[in-house]
Structure 1
Amino acid sequence: MNYLFSIAMGFLQGVAEFLPISSSGHLTLFQYFFSPEQNPEELDMLFTILLHFGTLISVCVYYWRDIIDMIREFFLGISDLFSRRGSHEGRPPEARRLVLMIIVGTLPLFAVLLVKDTVDAAFSNVTFVSAALIATGFLLFFSDRMAKGRKTARTATILDALLVGCAQAVGTLPGISRAGSTISAGMLCGFDRTFAVRFSFLLSLPAVLGANILEIADAVQAGGVDMSRLPMYIVGMVVAGVVGYFAIRLVNLLANKGKFGAFAYYCWAVGIVSLVASFLV
């Protein structure tokens, strides 16, 4: 590994994490074709942790108002629960409903823990990743053709949150876009396009944080961190965070205009090319 490779991986993570093209799939393919000497286990268990942490920070920066409101309402909700009173008449505040929806939407990820070894093994299967990218292309192609919904945090149901959470669980597979699957699932549930994007990215926070904690534990068990490469890893993380912030802005713009389908052709092209190349390399 060198700094150029680290910067390239950071840029790729920042773009692909939020654009509906699967960051995990692109990182796997990039490593397979451009850095085959890199140990896949080492990359997945260490460098990927920092890359995802960089994009996690970009979500926190972009949606910092939502996050502050949700933290405040979380503790106010607990206070109301223990005091056996409701501080609000009728429906709870939007931020408090978002907290509940995110908790419910995160639950399906616990099922992924039961098949974690199978999911991890898929990262080294280029054929699977290529096929998954092609499948993501079909998902995006049909998402733009869904009727525009009107649901927001005030009108979406717990069942809606659970269905989007199931889509996120499927999105843990390399090549299946987490953003693409959750945003498309939100649109299918009738979410307003802007809210579908917002909920998708806020839902990613506990998912990415939890995954990083698990990967850190695995990295420690595997022999710890190579401190000589830490500066390169940090450079990649910073690049991922900066690029990720602007990628979030782009996704919101494209969602409002209903242009997700354009990424379908990209996913099909990358999937088909990588599938063919995997048999030739």
Structure 2
Amino acid sequence: MSDSMTWAQAVVLGAVQGLTEFLPISSSAHLRIVSALWFDDDAGASFTAVTQLGTEAAVLVYFAKDIARIVKAWFVGLANPAERGLDYRVGWYVIFATIPIGVIGYLLRDQIRTGARNLWLVAIMLILFSGVIWLAEKVGTQRRSMAQLTLRDGVVMGLSQCFALIPGVSRSGATSSAGLFLGLKRETAVRFSFLLAIPAVLASGLFSLPDAFSPSGEGVQASGPQILVATVVAFVLGYGSIAWLLQFVSRHSLNWFVGYRVLLGLAVIGLLSAGVISAT
């Protein structure tokens, strides 16, 4: 029989979600690792998806003016071709870029909730994808701004977002790296990455609500109030994380996160090899 989650665990997991969701270090990997160390179990993909609603609410609040402007421009542009400017195009880019992860996430939903959460895979992806981020920083020209964003950029970044279905990859790491490979400025790639995540994460969280509040019996069981508190904590810390990251990437490389990812991946491999934690 599954253990019940404590209030302390719910708050800590909400904090982990809020602090790591937007950094290129994989929040799902951190939630999986913290769960293994603290619970000797998995809090579950549904708990992860629902608490992500908190961090996505932080995105909605932080970028409220940008989102409102894009949505308005999109509807105006549909009715009046003469008004189809950058914001109208960005609206379409987000829509088209969301299709791949919607399709793949639905088709592979069972694997995402089970085999993809194996800690050996999580550790390996933390290390391997560090190389992708490093290479993107090395070869990216970083010459193109948001005004130069194209549909091709949106689709490529949308396809890269699918890799984030595997814990250890990182949604922001995958999409931002794709943007750098395409020649976008780092801040542009990260900013579009935030916008791109909104529909995918909201859909995933809402889709997972029934499973999170009526769990099947696998993994650690969280109550409705605990999930709510974890989500609120994730929102508060996530909002601060957005502001910090946008300031950070305007001055620093994403390579600052590469070393951390490698060390964390090696640490997890060491704990697994020593039998301290279980892979499943």
Work out the CA distance in 1 between the residues paired with 2:245 and 2:201: 19
> Which of 196, 205, 216 is equivalent to 1:212?
205
Q: Is residue 2:140 matched to residue 1:132?
A: no
> Which of 95, 100, 105 is equivalent to 2:97?
105
Percent sequence identity over aligned pairs:
29
Amino acid at match of 1:187: L
Cross-structure match for 2:17: 13
Cross-structure match for 1:32: 36
Change (3 A) 1:254 1:100: same
Amino acid at match of 2:88: R
Work out the CA distance in 2 between the residues paired with 1:264 and 1:67: 30
Change (3 A) 1:267 1:143: same
- Is the 8 Å Cα contact of residues 14 and 51 (structure 2) preserved in structure 1? yes
Change (3 A) 1:34 1:157: same
Q: Specify every segment of 5 or more residues in structure 2 that has no aligned partner in the other structure, as ranges.
A: none
Q: Is residue 2:263 matched to residue 1:262?
A: no
Displacement of 1:26 in angstroms is: 0.8
> Which of 160, 171, 179 is equivalent to 2:153?
160
Work out the CA distance in 1 between the residues paired with 2:155 and 2:70: 19
Work out the CA distance in 1 between the residues paired with 2:237 and 2:24: 15
Displacement of 1:32 in angstroms is: 1.2
Q: Is residue 2:45 matched to residue 1:44?
A: yes
> Normalised by the size of structure 1, how large is the TM-score?
0.88
- Is the 8 Å Cα contact of residues 141 and 262 (structure 1) preserved in structure 2? no
Work out the CA distance in 2 between the residues paired with 1:108 and 1:169: 7
Q: Is residue 2:183 matched to residue 1:182?
A: no
Cross-structure match for 2:79: 79
- Is the 8 Å Cα contact of residues 158 and 175 (structure 2) preserved in structure 1? yes
Work out the CA distance in 2 between the residues paired with 1:227 and 1:121: 16
Cross-structure match for 1:274: 268
Q: Is residue 2:191 matched to residue 1:198?
A: yes
> Which of 134, 137, 162 is equivalent to 1:141?
134
Work out the CA distance in 1 between the residues paired with 2:116 and 2:105: 15
Work out the CA distance in 2 between the residues paired with 1:94 and 1:145: 29
Displacement of 1:135 in angstroms is: 1.5
- Is the 8 Å Cα contact of residues 70 and 98 (structure 1) preserved in structure 2? yes
The alignment covers a number of residue pairs equal to 268
Change (3 A) 1:220 1:232: closer
More displaced 10-residue stretch of structure 1: 193-202 or 255-264: 255-264
Secondary structure, in 3 states, of the residue corresponding to 1:107? helix
Change (3 A) 1:21 1:227: closer
- Is the 8 Å Cα contact of residues 167 and 182 (structure 1) preserved in structure 2? yes
CA RMSD in angstroms comes to: 2.2
- Is the 8 Å Cα contact of residues 167 and 185 (structure 1) preserved in structure 2? yes
For 1:229-248, list aligned pairs within 5 A.
229-248=223-242
Work out the CA distance in 1 between the residues paired with 2:247 and 2:139: 17
More displaced 10-residue stretch of structure 1: 264-273 or 70-79: 70-79
Secondary structure, in 3 states, of the residue corresponding to 1:216? helix
Displacement of 1:43 in angstroms is: 3.5
Amino acid at match of 1:273: A
Secondary structure, in 3 states, of the residue corresponding to 1:7? helix
